Structure 1
């Protein structure tokens, strides 16, 4: 007869198997490789990532290559070069990256360096730290061979000067994208993610949002899935939103369900949620993806073997909820 100790051991093992089931995608064919990213500027970013994935490359290399595209594109006004400045006219950049082994790197309030995502990766790989900020991050980038550049374009400067006269509040949504977050699952079944931004337009000098914060703007658990965020960064920080989405997937929710539950939780806490935008994008270990947000207007890009698509995310206040 089995002892009580044996029973407890079996119960514990069953619980462990139950928790691991979502990661193993039992009974499902894994959709890999695949890359997803926030907003329509994720389309060209995904293509760069896809070149890495389709050649059998690592998800980490793919997400870095992918988000470097909008970082260098002056037409993308809220990421990297050409991004909107803060209220003092300074372009300050935030980014983070995370691989399948829970290694991660981050930079915040970085100025004068076009590719903060690559600096973040070097923080991960060449320092004992997770995050470097401000002048320390800039000095580290220069020590690694990065070149200091002027990131405020003539167009962004003109927009900032108009804002100084009007002092209008900028809504973070389709008309003012605040970031690009990218998640990838490679042919080996490993996940990685990256997030990079110039932050909210005309923010206070020194403000840092969720994008460089592991767990808030990005989180990867290679046993379960990954998530990234868009919208008002302060709300993602307060709720550790992307970690929440991944934990909900661990409990059995699909990527879309996990994003929806996280958004609904934030909305309940806010009460006056209709004046804010918060959105999440998630990818699980099986290569399934989904998104959900408060306001309509959030879209996300997908690249897989069947092709490239741009999808309107479901929303709490939209007709597609």
Structure 2
């Protein structure tokens, strides 16, 4: 089921990995306080924003064979980058106001190494270019034409990322040129993924084509280490989706990991990070922000502002889509 169709349906129930100990509460009135998964030393495991079963399955294939977490998250999010039906990531992404599809991505390994690309055009697999930045340059981030040229030098093919479907929608949008992102669709379907391999090492990746019809040059949180993604191999990892500007303001993913360091569960840490945004932004009802997180033991959590955000978890216990708890009901 495509994520867009999933988000239009409201009758889905919260799903957890059925292992002991299980959900702390199943009562409807307690739903906002449910801790999604509590499982000690569960590895390998992969978690990703949104209902992306193909991505988590691909990452799990790597982990199940004894592969490392870095390879797993790269392989996983590449599935969405190549899916032209996903209009918020990679090829087929919605363009900016000028009709250009621009991609942002980052990746981070268990040793604290990281790489990112921002405002890159004509290259489908932004996450793989980000990994090359991490591994083959002394830098962390490359932008625009520089990132694109670097990708060509590394053998990435030039591709037209604007599909006919996205082009047609953009031309229709131009008739009014009204910027009104739709929560959980244009606001926004970034793909973030975290994994723990059999050695207990954690890595993460995040990739997006950004908000539909954004101003040319706009960059959100997704490629910014500490905002859209952060990993500390001693503690855990976090990644974000939604209104990137608000996530950047609170350095959201770093905040989640630091809260876990202080003793919060991933669920509690994600909730507190969302609460910080709500506290600071009086217009929070007009935006969506969601976080997912994992700690060293394989305990996961997620929290968001509006209902409709979900995340996928794949481990030896199963492959489940979990509807995130939310501030608003």
When the two structures are superposed, what TM-score results if normalisation uses the length of structure 2?
Answer: 0.87
User: In structure 2, what is the Cα distance between the partners aligned to 1:53 and 1:197?
Assistant: 23
Asked whether 1:264 is paired with 2:275, we answer yes
Describe how 1:133-152 pairs up with structure 2 within 5 A: 133-152=143-162
Paired with 1:178 and 1:166, the residues of 2 have a C-alpha distance of 23
Unaligned stretches of 5+ residues in structure 2 = 1-38
Aligned to 2:174: 164
Mapped to 1, the partners of 2:316 and 2:184 lie a distance apart of: 27
Give the distance between the partners of 1:171 and 1:88, measured in 2 at CA.
17
CA distance in 1, matches of 2:184, 2:312: 14
Alignment-derived partner of residue 249 in structure 1: 260
In the TM superposition, residue 32 of structure 1 has moved relative to its aligned partner by 0.4
Aligned counterparts of 2:102 and 2:231: Cα–Cα separation in 1:
25
What is the CA RMSD across the aligned residues, in angstroms? 1.0
1:67-146 mapped onto 2 (5 Å cutoff): 67-146=77-156
Q: Distance in 2 between matches of 1:125 and 1:270?
A: 38
Hey, what does 2:24 align to over in structure 1?
Answer: none
Match of 1:204, SS?
Answer: coil
* C-alpha displacement of 1:172: 5.1
- 1:302 maps onto 2:313 in alignment: yes
Q: How many angstroms apart in 2 are the aligned matches of 1:245 and 1:75?
A: 31
Which has the greater radius of gyration? 1
Q: Deviations over 1:75-124 (max 9, x none)?
A: 00100000000000000000000000000000000000010000000000
1:214-253 to 2 correspondences below 5 Å: 214-253=225-264
| Structure-1 residue corresponding to 2:288 | 277
Which secondary structure does the structure 2 equivalent of 1:183 belong to?
strand
Structure 1 partner of 2:61:
51
Q: Point out where structure 1 has 5 or more consecutive residues left out of the alignment.
A: 1-27
Of 21, 45, 48 in structure 2, the residue corresponding to residue 37 of structure 1 is 48
Counterpart-to-counterpart distance in 2, 1:189 and 1:64 = 17
Check whether the contact 2:183–2:287 (CA below 8 A) recurs between aligned residues: no
**Per-residue deviation, 1:169:** 3.0
Pick from 190, 194, 201 the counterpart of residue 205 of structure 2. Answer: 194
> Which residue in 1 is equivalent to 2:35?
none
1:266, distance to aligned residue in structure 2 (A) = 1.1
Give me the TM-score of the superposition, normalised by structure 1.
Answer: 0.89
Bigger fraction of residues in helix: 1
Alpha-carbon distance, 1:278 to partner: 1.2
Aligned length in residues: 290
Q: C-alpha separation between the residues in 2 aligned to 1:166 and 1:33?
A: 48
Q: What corresponds to 1:21 in structure 2?
A: none
Structure 1 CA distance for aligned equivalents of residues 293 and 107 of structure 2: 15
Question: In terms of mean alpha carbon deviation, does 72-81 or 271-280 score higher?
Answer: 271-280
